[in-house]
Amino acid sequence: MTLSALGIFSAAGVSGAVASDYELIETSILGSSTPSITFSSLGTYSSTYKHFQVRMTARTDRSGTVSDSIKMEFNGDTSAGNYALHVLQGNGSSVGSGGYANNAIELQRATTTSDAANSFGFIVVDVLDAYAAKNKTIRALGGFLASSDRVICLTSGLWKNTASLTSMTFRPGGGSNLVSGTRISLYGVK
């Protein structure tokens, strides 16, 4: 059987999400600094959604650098080595990459208090197969435009656990708090 016969190269084989497949579940907009944002009770959506998408504009109180990562944890798991990720980033003149095992998936990039006031990084994360009995994977696109730097990042990540998602927590990678104006929205994807 050919790939065309399977529908892989034809419109019949295309099943991408459309705008109506994304439904806003919850948005958290910070009015003051906080150490983390958690979306809980995700198990109640298991019959409605297959995937989740998280959209954020973020800034942390880290100082000494213009950017920070955002740690993403599933089901309260912060055990060392339970997460893996790959990062590819560029700034217009150079490219960098890396792979890590960690206690969270580190999403790239938020701005910090060392950058211009009211500047925020952006990150869009797809959490795939949230309820399937397999390790959870993510893909993310993020970046920032800072006074001294501009970066765009692609991240892929893995939570080494087959449990259904019940919660997602977001916290700064290097700072102590997410600051006022940080906005994180959770969407369900059918």
Residue 12 lies in a domain: no
Q: How confident is the model at residue 102 (pLDDT cuts 50, 70, 90)?
A: very high
Helix (H) or strand (E) run with residue 172 in it: strand 168-172
Domain that includes residue 170, residue range: 19-189
What's the angle, vertex CA 107, arms to CA 78 and CA 186, rounded to 5? 85
pLDDT at 21: 84
Q: Round to whole Å and give the CA distance between 133 and 139.
A: 18
Is residue 7 one of the residues assigned to a domain? no
The pTM for the full model equals 0.88
- CATH number of the domain residue 94 falls in: 2.60.120
Flag whether 141 is in a domain: yes
Which two structure tokens, joined as six digits, stand for 8? 């892989």
Q: Is residue 6 part of a domain?
A: no
In a domain, 45, yes or no: yes
Cα(92)–Cα(61) distance, integer angstroms: 26
What's the pLDDT tens digit per position in 15-54? 566 778 899 999 999 999 999 999 999 999 999 999 999 9
Q: Which of 6-20, 85-99, 151-165, 172-186 has the lowest mean pLDDT?
A: 6-20
9 in a structural domain? no
Total structural domains within the chain: 1
Residue 31, φ and ψ in degrees, nearest 5: -95, -15
pLDDT of 52-65, one tens digit each?
A: 999 999 999 999 88
The reply to whether 5 falls in a domain is no
